[in-house]
Structure 1
Amino acid sequence: MDQDRVETCIVCGQPKEEGIHIVNEFICLACEAEMVQTRVEDEKYPFFVHRLRQIAVRYHV
């Protein structure tokens, strides 16, 4: 990814330079790390599922 490019994370809504793309959506490294470490029992898990589901809704994946 271009280090000078700032994108808005679909999870936290913050502008960040580094992260991953899923389809055409950007997830910052901090949110990615938190998501992969979140257990199903964690109260934040449904929030992450909801945010990721938005990708499927927008792009019909």
Structure 2
Amino acid sequence: MGNSSKHVCGICNQTKEDGIHIYQLYICRVCEEEILSIHPKDDNYQYYVEKMRAINQITYTI
């Protein structure tokens, strides 16, 4: 694991090592894959939309 660091995912709120940063929002690999595959008619679609809106809020407060 070496220099890996852990971050709290802004979507699932779990601490993970593998993921991406979009501006100041960290998204774990599991949530990233879910976001990329979710369909607008899925039950969880609105949940992910709301969580991703946090990117706008973070960007405006920097």
**TM-score where L is the length of structure 2:** 0.87
- Is 1:56 equivalent to 2:56 in the alignment? yes
Q: Which runs of 4+ in 1 moved over 6 A?
A: none
% identical equivalent positions: 32
Judged with a 3 Å threshold, the aligned counterparts in structure 2 of structure 1 residues 54 and 46 are, in CA distance, closer, same or farther, namely: same
What does residue 6 of structure 1 align with? 6
The structure with the largest alpha-carbon Rg is: 2
Q: CA RMSD in A?
A: 1.4
What does residue 38 of structure 1 align with? 38
Equivalent residue pairs, number: 59
**TM-score where L is the length of structure 1:** 0.89
| Structure 1, gaps ≥5 residues long | none
Give the structure, 1 or 2, with the largest relative contact order (CA under 8 Å, sep 6 or more). Answer: 2
